[in-house]
Amino acid sequence: MREAEQESARDRAVAYARARGYEADAFQIRAMSALDDGRSVVVSAPTGSGKTLVAEYAVDLALASGGRALYTTPLKALSNQKVHDLGELLGPSQVGLLTGDNSVRGTAPVVVMTTEVLRNMLYTDAEAVAQVGVVVLDEVHYLQDPYRGGVWEEVIIHLPRTVQLVCLSATVSNSEEFGAWIETLRGPTDVVVEEHRPVPLEHWVGVESGRAVRLLPLFAPDANGPNPKVVRLERHKGRGGPRAPRRHGVIEQLGRRDLLPAIYFIFSRAGCERAVRQLLGAGVSLTTAKERHRIREALDRSIVGIGDRDLTALGFPELAEGLLCGIAPHHAGMVPAFRELVEELFIAGVVKVTFATETLSLGVNMPARTVVVEKLTKFGGERHEALTPGQYTQLAGRAGRRGTDDVGNAVVLWSPFVFAEQMYELAAARSYLLESSFEPNYNMVANLVARMDLEAARDVVGASFAQFRVDSEVVRLQRKCDELRGAADEYRRKAGESAGAGRKRWELRAKDTERRIEKLQRRAQRRADALGHRFDSICDLLVDLDYLVPSPEGTGRLVPTRKGELLRRLYSEADLVTAEVIEAGLLDSLEPAALAAAVAVLTFEARREGPVEPLPPSKTIRRAISELLDVADRVADIEAERGLDVTRELDDGFAGTAYGWASGCGLDDLLDSAAGGGDFVRNVKQLIDACRQIADATREVGVHVELGRQARRAADLLNRGVVALSSVEDSPGENPAVNGARVAP
């Protein structure tokens, strides 16, 4: 960009920020200027630093040029929030929403959507993005999520090159590498890194001794190590010494020091609920009469459309009691409407303490003056694992409200099992590597070969960030091999110049070095072609199962069969099993409620081991579920034989509940004390997504048409009561799959 153009772009960026009431930071100006120049950008900056301003500027540029903008998020809750924020900025009629649950103004100039919906849209209806000028990928560091992260890479690979990309990420140490990958796919891309937090962060250790809770600085005065006072606590462990502070004591201390509102992270849903009860039991109340009046008004608004029995089953009376005292839980076990109520009241400043699981750290705009991290370990599904620096930074990043607080505060609670040096290293770490979780799956391969020849499809897999990182590692391994070859040559030269034992010693060193070279070369070869080998194995399996066949034109291409066309339209972890079950006709004779029960086996995944839930009483349903599980076992056997990752084991634990809900049972009859309302709603919505996918896929391919009709009816029966509640009103007559955007779990 010429100097005059750079100055003009800078002036436009500054003016845009001022019109929004901000003074633009240097990193925002750099990013907005790059967008003015038609370049894509990767913005890596701390939580709360103002990355969203860059995204909104990109949206404004797209609209000004007559194009459309798509804003993607990893979470439905975050999508709802972005619809609200962009609607306030541009006007509600200008902003639409597409998620697995909602379709609102799907053809609006700006559409917010989950990343899965955009990926599915690219596979099924590329014309839907024909007029799109910019796509924002919010929270793009989420691509390392082991279950859903690969979707980001699919989107980046498949978007037309004419689309500008705006990637917003938390601070990661390899953002330049990530940006270099995007540039290989999409052309000129600027990487803008900002490590400075707009609100400085202070780190504290909360400890109780006697009856008092104290906050000690975690860092030493020179910040080159832990505070000696914190280190000395380790010498006095045991009876009469320091101990982990009680929750109500921590909150009272934060209140005395004017450090509220606070988000108090507890990595357990039950722990969050228990903490609220503990504070109420200790008589803690943090609200004024005026604040309680404001809370009552919000409570009344939030329960419209939910019956009294359902409210009781969902624990609303307990939630209301805590809210009126300024105390609330926030976790995925709560129904979305209740979580959104907590967020609203926290942002309004009338809820002073929220006990939350780590899900609150992912994108939802809910900053606080203080963050408390109760433990530096969390349960990872099988065992307790230490927090990573990236996870800690994500949590602590919620502390400090721009324009309100001079500093943010992160408090780690002292524990006799965690050393001061560990706490210091976690808080001081600055290196958070962005990894890739991309792997080809059945649906992806079926969609790729339907659109291009095998070589091109394989190239797409090779274009992933996962392969980009692997290739970099292969280059490093080859360089190491070259170094070792030089060493081996030198050893052989010395052997030739030596005699007796000396010669034998140099020959042994040369042979040992050659063995190391061979080992590194094998490792490099395995790494270099791991994704390609998986792609080939999936193709072979899909050919053997009649999902793909060689093109009759003899072009060397594979083309989807009727079964393959069905598979292309099924998006889930159990995509192949679902297609096999449909093709086997196992679901054809089921009425809607029974069908909901059977499909629930394909979608449900229990959070952890728990009591076995009863299956529906009908023998017909039980037989269908048994046959469905047999199909899953056969698929798993085939995968194991071919060295492919085995599709996760299916779980029938939600089948009875799904049948009851689709049959019209009340929530109080279905929700036991171990199941949270949020889990129930999420599981039913995933089930609705799956039923709609089956309905759409069978209709479009023209197979099992009656099953499709029954699946649509099942989805309608399931979508009632608390499940149907949404923070965004559905527009009349709009289809949940506008522009071919299939819903995905």
pLDDT in tens, 118-174: 988 888 777 778 889 999 999 888 888 777 788 889 899 999 989 999 999 887 888
Residues 6+ apart with CB under 8 A from 422: 376
Secondary structure element (H or E) that encloses residue 713, with its range: helix 705-718
3-state secondary structure at position 98: strand
Per-residue pLDDT, averaged over 707-724, amounts to 93
* Range scoring the smallest mean pLDDT among 205-209, 290-294, 409-413, 694-698: 205-209
Q: Which band of pLDDT confidence, cut at 50, 70 and 90, is reported for residue 491?
A: confident
- Is 32 in contact with 54 (CB distance < 8 Å)? yes
Q: Enter the tokens of residue 307.
A: 């019956």
Q: pLDDT at residue 732 above 50?
A: no
Note the pLDDT tens digit of each residue in 221-266. Answer: 888 889 898 888 877 766 667 888 999 999 999 999 999 999 999 9
Domain 201-428 sits in CATH at 3.40.50.300
Residues 6+ apart with CB under 8 A from 366: 263, 343, 346, 347, 354, 360, 398
Place of tokens 């994500």: 394
Q: Give which of 320, 333, 316, 328 is closest to 270, Cα–Cα.
A: 333
* Fold classification of 569-740 (topology level): Sec63 N-terminal domain-like fold (1.10.3380)
The CATH number for 3-193, chosen from 2.30.30.40, 3.40.50.300, 3.40.50.720, 3.20.20.10, is 3.40.50.300
pLDDT > 70: what percent of the chain? Answer: 90
Q: Enter the tokens of residue 64.
A: 């000004």
Q: pLDDT at residue 102 above 80?
A: no
Note the pLDDT tens digit of each residue in 574-593. Answer: 999 999 999 999 999 999 99
Where does residue 263 rank: exposed (0-12), middle (13-18), buried (19+ CB within 10 A)?
buried
| Sequence letter at residue 492 | R
Residue 743 pLDDT: 29
Q: pLDDT averaged over the chain?
A: 86
pLDDT > 90: what percent of the chain? Answer: 45
Residue 733 pLDDT: 29
Helix residue spans in 331-453 (DSSP H): 336-347, 389-396, 420-428, 442-451
The model carries a pTM of 0.82
Note the pLDDT tens digit of each residue in 316-364. Answer: 999 999 999 999 999 888 888 898 899 899 989 999 999 998 776 665 6
Output the DSSP codes for 142-197.
GGG-TTTTHHHHHHHHHS-TTSEEEEEE---TTHHHHHHHHHHHHS-EEEEE----
Q: pLDDT at residue 718 above 80?
A: yes
Q: Which band of pLDDT confidence, cut at 50, 70 and 90, is reported for residue 411?
A: very high
**Which phi and psi (to 5°) does residue 200 adopt?**
-55, 150
Gap between the Cα atoms of 590 and 486, Å rounded: 70
For the chain, the helix, strand and coil percentages under 3-state DSSP, each to the nearest 5: 55, 10, 35
Gap between the Cα atoms of 236 and 215, Å rounded: 17
Q: pLDDT at residue 383 above 70?
A: no
Q: pLDDT at residue 57 above 90?
A: yes
Per-residue pLDDT, averaged over 54-64, amounts to 94
3-state secondary structure at position 360: helix
Per-residue pLDDT, averaged over 476-485, amounts to 73
